[in-house]
Structure 1
Amino acid sequence: MRMSTSHCTIMAVIAAFFMMATDQVWAADALPPFKDDLFSTQKVLQTGDGGAFEVIEYDEMRDINGRDQIPEKRTQQKYVSLGVRKSQTDETLSLGGLKLDVTRVGPASAAGFTVIFIHGRNGDRRLGANDYTFGGNFNRLKNLVAGNGGVYYSPSVKSFDSDGVAAIAGLIRYASEQSPGKPVILTCASMGSQICWGISRDPESVKRLKGMVIMSGVADPDFAKSPFYKSKLPLWFAHGSRDPVYAATDQQALFEKLLKANYPTHFTLYQTGNHGTPIRMIDWRRALNWILAS
């Protein structure tokens, strides 16, 4: 059946409307509550800079010993929902001649958005896919992403140099090609933050990114020279005040410089928190919704 020119025009307008409606989803709380009573009821001790800076109460006896069945090894069952494992698989991707081992949770293609987690030193893809460690926070992340039509990748990064950056640039490109036009969020922890900073300097990767999350990471004094900075993509920091590996003050100083430049940024400081505290305590729903809405 042939369509008239006017009919085709109407259909095009309707299609454009639905595309706009899809984009507007990200302007609100795109990710609905998931176990918010367990993960999002954190006590705010201090706020500043119009809400861009916050200090959250952290209590090891409550947030580790009171939360885990076996401290730091296995959280209580109520913190996890394992149905998401049905959409989880380990695979090796071929990315422009590079092989990358990943754990993927969610659809391989046509995902509504992508979240990538980069582990730190001595880690691999298993860290970001473990349901029971870090108080079940990775399980929540998987449910928030895959449960809302997104895809989550936890890759094994072999090195935190240019080779590691190239591998993750390939993963970002691959995810973007699998789900064209959809948001890609890169999150990095500890030494993995070097991958985030490296990606921030890669113009092709930056074009595909929606934002980044840096947890317990090293500061990048040259970040303001990067394409990521020039694109003003949102950047969320999370750090423990007693971090013995990378000082919170270094990241906070970078955050304050960005804030003065009217850069879209947020800093969550966990009072008395250690190096691994942000991975356990970050409110993934808040962080991801803030980036998606920016």
Structure 2
Amino acid sequence: MRHLVPTLLWLISFVLTTPATALQLAPFKDQLFTYPPILESHDNGAYRIIDYRELRDINQRDAVPERQAESRYISTDIRRLQQDLLAKTEAGPVRHFAVGRPARPRIITVYLHGQGGSRHQGVNDFTFGGNFNRIKNLMGHNGGLYLSPDFSDFGEKGAAEIAALISLYAARSPQAPIFLACGSMGGALCWRLAREPALAPQLDGLLLLGSMWDDHFVKTEAFRRRVPIFIAHGSRDTVFPIDKQEAFYRGIRDAAPGYPVRFVRFETGSHGTPIRMTDWRETLNWMLAVRR
């Protein structure tokens, strides 16, 4: 046993000192949530067109289309790690769901809903083909934390609330990478937070899911820090036209060749398709691998 002690001490030291960039999320129902066939791929795989089909990707995936995912896509055991909380912050009280490890999480993912949504959208196990259930399980099974908050608006006040909430949890686990996923109008908050000098250094990735662009992003602190950007969009999105979002993607690449940005286009997909179809694990593992 005396000879085992140095080895055990080395292993403990290795685990505690391994860089955060070494973290990769373990699989969870990958065979069900991997992307359908890729129709086209450009920019060395950074831009992909995915073969999305409503009859297959909604009707054959949901027991009740757009309301109830088939049982094989979900695992509600994760609810034992889910709490509905009220955080007291400098920006005021922030009601939010927290799923996973609230103290010293290894990774933090925050979802910001769009117009007309609430914190409940991001923890609904059954809608959007079970994709919110997947991110909850990915965080919970990997020692991470998933947050789905309410906020007052998509302007300055809402941004202050989210910034305060993120800072609260970041202080409990300073080494945890933080990823901000924004659905639809929630992107307004993503871009506001990317401009915040105090908060941008805490962000390790932005996910825009059927969301908007920011013509001034290249002037932000997040851009200067080369925060990875993931954009997923339906080709038939009538809320935010895909040509605008594709032009934004091209603008980033032109402004900074080699910038870590990806674009997934769901051919024939609508406004809500990216929330349903985005492969959380693939995207977050890519961001973990390329972040600074």
Q: How does 1:213-228 map to 2 (within 5 A)?
A: 213-228=207-222
| Aligned pair partner of 1:280 in 268, 276, 281 | 276
The Cα of 1:16 is off from its aligned counterpart by 6.3
Amino acid at match of 1:209: L
| 1-structure distance, mates of 2:113, 2:35 | 26
In structure 2, the residue matched to 1:157 is 151
| Aligned pair partner of 1:270 in 266, 271, 279 | 266
3-state DSSP of counterpart to 1:203? coil
| 2-structure distance, mates of 1:183, 1:151 | 11
Amino acid at match of 2:282: R
The Cα of 1:25 is off from its aligned counterpart by 2.2
| 2:91–2:160 contact (8 Å) kept in structure 1 | no
Unpaired segments ≥5 residues, structure 1: 1-10
The Cα of 1:77 is off from its aligned counterpart by 0.6
Q: Tell me the number of residue pairs that the alignment of Structure 1 and Structure 2 aligns.
A: 280
| Aligned pair partner of 2:27 in 6, 10, 33 | 33
Provide Cα deviations, 1:192-234, integer angstroms capped at 9, x if missing partner.
0000000000011111111110111111101111100011110
Provide Cα deviations, 1:110-145, integer angstroms capped at 9, x if missing partner.
100100000000000000000000000000010011
In structure 1, the residue matched to 2:5 is none
| 2-structure distance, mates of 1:18, 1:273 | 42
In structure 2, the residue matched to 1:196 is 190
| Aligned pair partner of 1:145 in 132, 139, 142 | 139
| 1:119–1:157 contact (8 Å) kept in structure 2 | no
Alignment of 1:74 onto 2:68: yes
| 2-structure distance, mates of 1:182, 1:140 | 20
| 2-structure distance, mates of 1:184, 1:124 | 21
The Cα of 1:14 is off from its aligned counterpart by 8.1
In structure 2, the residue matched to 1:238 is 232
| 2-structure distance, mates of 1:204, 1:188 | 19
| 2:115–2:186 contact (8 Å) kept in structure 1 | yes
Q: How has the CA–CA distance of structure 1 residues 48 and 176 changed in structure 2, closer, same or farther, with 3 Å as cutoff?
A: same
Provide Cα deviations, 1:45-80, integer angstroms capped at 9, x if missing partner.
100001100000110111111111111111111100
Provide Cα deviations, 1:63-108, integer angstroms capped at 9, x if missing partner.
1111111111111111001111000010111111411110110121
The Cα of 1:189 is off from its aligned counterpart by 0.7
Q: TM-score, normalised by structure 1?
A: 0.92
In structure 2, the residue matched to 1:132 is 126
Moved more, 145-154 or 14-23: 14-23
Moved more, 127-136 or 89-98: 89-98
Provide Cα deviations, 1:139-188, integer angstroms capped at 9, x if missing partner.
00100111100000000122100011101111111121121221011110
Amino acid at match of 2:107: F
The Cα of 1:20 is off from its aligned counterpart by 3.6
| 1-structure distance, mates of 2:250, 2:178 | 25
> After TM superposition, which residue ranges in structure 1, 4 or more long, deviate above 4 angstroms?
13-17
3-state DSSP of counterpart to 2:36? coil
In structure 1, the residue matched to 2:287 is 291
Provide Cα deviations, 1:1-37, integer angstroms capped at 9, x if missing partner.
xxxxxxxxxx8x98764444252523xxx11221111
| 2-structure distance, mates of 1:18, 1:42 | 36
| 1:137–1:280 contact (8 Å) kept in structure 2 | yes
| 2-structure distance, mates of 1:158, 1:97 | 11
3-state DSSP of counterpart to 2:198? helix
In structure 2, the residue matched to 1:5 is none
Q: RMSD across aligned C-alpha pairs, in angstroms?
A: 1.5
| Aligned pair partner of 2:115 in 112, 121, 145 | 121
Alignment of 1:47 onto 2:41: yes
Amino acid at match of 1:270: F
Unpaired segments ≥5 residues, structure 2: 1-8
Amino acid at match of 1:40: T
